[in-house]
Structure 1
Amino acid sequence: MTPGTLLISQPFLGDPNFERSVVLVCRDERASGTFGLVLNHRTELTLSDVLKLPLGPASPAAALPLYLGGPVEPDTLHYLHRRPDVPGATALGQDVYWGGDFPVLLDLLTTGALDAADVRLFVGYAGWGPGQLAAERQARSWVTHPASAGKVFTLATDAFWRAILREKGGRFQAWANYPVDPRLN
């Protein structure tokens, strides 16, 4: 699977970690598996809650919200941004980059060279061992939306899952309207 692909969970996936989730695939390698970030599970935490910043609460990065990137290693920080000049960043397509030198990213935010709206921070990540995601896709747990990394910064987080399904159209558009618990319908 190509980095920059979105994985959209089917409405009744049954895994609370990925219920109504949209995951951005950052890396997919046959030998090591797949690494992705859940895009639409925002936490109540900000960067200053988990990291001591050089300017403290006055830092432009202090109020950046943290998203739950997935259930794996929730004590790690990952980030997406729109700066190709951050050393070590991986291009995901559509002017979206993953990772890179975090002090450089913080400096760009502090100096105003990078707008806070062009950064997403994640604690933890979504990971699949070799062949695991392929099996889940074959079981139709996930729908793919290729070459869609740019949507990270264009769709509202709380409506991301529904919006991307509506954009796909057809039966997926109907999925967007499925109730969370059909017994309550």
Structure 2
Amino acid sequence: MEFFEFKNIDRPQKGDLLLSEPLLPDINFDRTVILLCEHNEEGSFGFVLNKLSILKVDEVLQEINSFDTSLYVGGPVQQNTLHFIHDIEHLRGGGQEIMDQLYWGGSFEKLLDLVQERKVDKNKIRFFVGYSGWSEEQLQQEIDQNTWIVARGVHPSYIFNTPPEKLWKDILEKMGGRFKVYANYPSDPKLN
């Protein structure tokens, strides 16, 4: 069942996905998919959706010791910070809406209570260490230089339910045309 139809966009907005172009030489963003959580005249930030940490959430947070779920590397900025995106009704009030049914943050104390009460569906929340950020106009300059492909039209359930190792390729294939060709580029063109 399809929840979306991805569209390529020249000007990003909050809720869009940024896909690194296939031959981006920056190891921090090699074949990454970033959820854009904010984009305005002051700058932009988001979280890498497909880069798993070697640790689990309950290994970095003692307060959440019974919640064995994946931890993602949200980006290279402030990797000593923890963030979460979710579609949990009881946390929406304290979070910032990214798009319909998807929020960033919220009351951490409320989250802890919900985890202890076993009322958090692991398929409706993702945790990140660090984030990806851009100063004013920096992201648009990178898009204009073909560093990023901007995709619009994702449904939150797709973010939570698509295996991270398949996300980048799957989105490009669904976009079709030249993007479908990008999805099959070898990681190292010299090996082609």
TM-score relative to the length of structure 2: 0.88
User: What is the letter of the counterpart of residue 80 of structure 1?
Assistant: I
Unaligned runs of 5+ in 2: 1-11
The 8 Å contact of residues 24 and 149 in structure 1, kept in 2 or not, is answered as no
Number of the residue aligned with 2:181 = 174
Give yes or no for contact 1:73–1:124 (8 Å, CA) kept in 2.
yes
* Structure 1 alignment gaps of length 5 or more: none
Q: Establish whether residue 160 from structure 1 lines up as the match of residue 167 from structure 2.
A: yes
The verdict on how the C-alpha distance between 1:106 and 1:155 changes in structure 2, with shifts beyond 3 A counting, is same
1:77 aligned to which of 49, 65, 82? 82
Q: Please, which of 48, 51, 71 is the counterpart of residue 41 of structure 1?
A: 51
Deviations, residues 36-58 of structure 1 (Å, cap 9, x unaligned): 0000000110112211126x3xx
Work out whether residues 84 and 91 of structure 1, in 8 Å CA contact, stay in contact via their aligned partners in 2: no
Could you say what secondary structure the match of 1:85 adopts?
A: helix
Distance 2:84 2:38 in 1: 14
Measured against aligned partners, the alpha-carbon deviations of 1:3-58 in whole angstroms (never above 9, x if no partner) come to 11000110011111101000000011202x0010000000110112211126x3xx
The within-5 A match list for 1:53-92 is 53=63, 56=65, 59=66, 61=67, 63-86=68-91, 87-92=93-98
Number of aligned positions between the proteins: 179
Moved over 2 A (4+): none
Does 2:60 correspond to 1:50? yes
> Which of 101, 105, 115 lines up with 2:111 in the alignment?
105
Q: Indicate the residue corresponding to 1:124 in structure 2.
A: 130
Cα distance change, pair 88–102 in 1 and its aligned pair in 2 (3 A): same
Q: Residue 70 of structure 1 aligns to a residue in which SS?
A: coil
Equivalent in the alignment of 1:95:
101
The percentage of aligned residue pairs carrying the same residue is 40
Matched, 1:16 2:16: no
Deviation sequence 1:136-155 (CA, Å, 0-9, x none): 00001111111425131131
Amino acid at match of 2:47: L
